[in-house]
Amino acid sequence: MSGLEALEKPLATLAFCWRIERRDGVTIGLTSHDRDLEIGHLLYRAAPGMTPSAVRSGIGVEGADSDVEGALVADAISEADLMAGRWDGAGLELRLTEWEAPGDLWLLLARGEIGAVTRKAGAFSAELVGAMAALKASVAPSTSPDCRAALGDRQCRVDLAGRRRVVAVGAVEDAVVSVAGLEPGAYAFGTLRWLTGANGGIVQGVIDNGAEDVALADPPPFAVEAGALALLTEGCDRRLATCVGRFGNAVNFRGEPYLPGTDLLTRYPGAA
């Protein structure tokens, strides 16, 4: 049955369905119906408080195609997980179905990624960033003395297979994590991904590391128990000297370290 046929029925039995997939792979389904619906081997849990704003279809370059609002569900979308950033960048699909025959009508209304999330009085509002947002990106990158690539991406091409390490974490004090047997500075500007414990799946930036500790950009969102496992990935300070000396990857350096800066324009005749 088409969407128009369903809307023309004298009695509407329609329900919204949200499929949300986090970056760590966790996937949940929610529906505006007052009972759970199973569609495509995924259980869409009843969340009557979930409501989408007006969904617009057309040609445009606005990144936000719609907004989604709803009450916080303790065991599905909790305030703690929102604050920890677990739902940032999650993929989202909004569809329309008939709760009398779930899945027979499966009309796609919107698709995108969750952008800005705000919380207020036990509820949340999430911006859905659509595919058209990509058209707002710059066609050509701006020049910079430092490398614009991220270590290990398609532009950098450094193989990170041997530059990751699973470690057991000891004590944690503020943003400093105790980890034994590290090469000082090897993981500066890298990342730490929590594998176990309350922070599981959360990725944090690394400022620097010593032989026995790792300094994170921010403290872990949740308490860390001794022995928790984490994945450390090396980083790069994006300088040409580091690219050449440490990674031997100057051919893929994405920067212009020898390009004259704007100070050249301010010089006057006779200036040294």
- pLDDT tens string, the chain, 272 residues long: the values are 555 666 677 767 888 898 989 888 889 898 888 899 999 899 999 887 666 665 554 444 444 456 666 655 646 777 778 777 888 888 888 888 988 889 888 988 888 888 777 776 666 777 777 666 666 667 777 888 999 999 999 999 999 988 999 999 988 998 999 998 999 999 999 999 999 998 988 899 999 999 999 999 999 989 999 899 999 999 999 999 999 999 999 999 999 998 877 676 677 676 55
Residue 118, pLDDT score: 72
Residue 156 in domain: no
Residues 201 and 106 in one domain: no
- Burial, 65: exposed, middle or buried (Cβ in 10 Å; 0-12, 13-18, 19+)? buried
Residue 130, pLDDT score: 67
CA-CA-CA-CA torsion sign (151, 156, 162, 166): positive
Give Cα separations from 1 to 37, 102, 134, 239 (angstroms): 18, 12, 33, 58
Domain hosting residue 91, numbered range = 3-133
Residue 108 in domain: yes
Coil, helix or strand at residue 15: strand
Number of domains in the chain: 2
Residues 7 and 75 in one domain: yes
Residues 116 and 177 in one domain: no
Residues 113 and 171 in one domain: no
Please state, in angstroms and rounded to a whole number, the distance separating the CA atoms of residues 87 and 64.
17
Pull the structure tokens for residue 188.
């500066």
Give every strand in the sheet of 107-120, ordered side by side: 37-39, 42-46, 27-31, 14-21, 91-98, 107-120, 123-129, 64-71, 51-52
CATH of the domain at 231: 2.40.10.170
Residues 128 and 181 in one domain: no
Residues 77 and 185 in one domain: no
Please state, in angstroms and rounded to a whole number, the distance separating the CA atoms of residues 60 and 87.
26
Residues 196 and 126 in one domain: no
Residue 131, pLDDT score: 63
Residue 75, pLDDT score: 64
CATH of the domain at 71: 2.30.110
Residue 132, pLDDT score: 62
CB–CB of 182/212 below 8 Å?
yes
Residues 172 and 125 in one domain: no
Pairing of strands 191-194, 203-209: antiparallel
Residues 119 and 21 in one domain: yes
Residues 16 and 123 in one domain: yes
Residue 68, pLDDT score: 64
Residues 113 and 194 in one domain: no
Residue 257 in domain: no
Pairing of strands 123-129, 107-120: antiparallel
Residues 196 and 103 in one domain: no
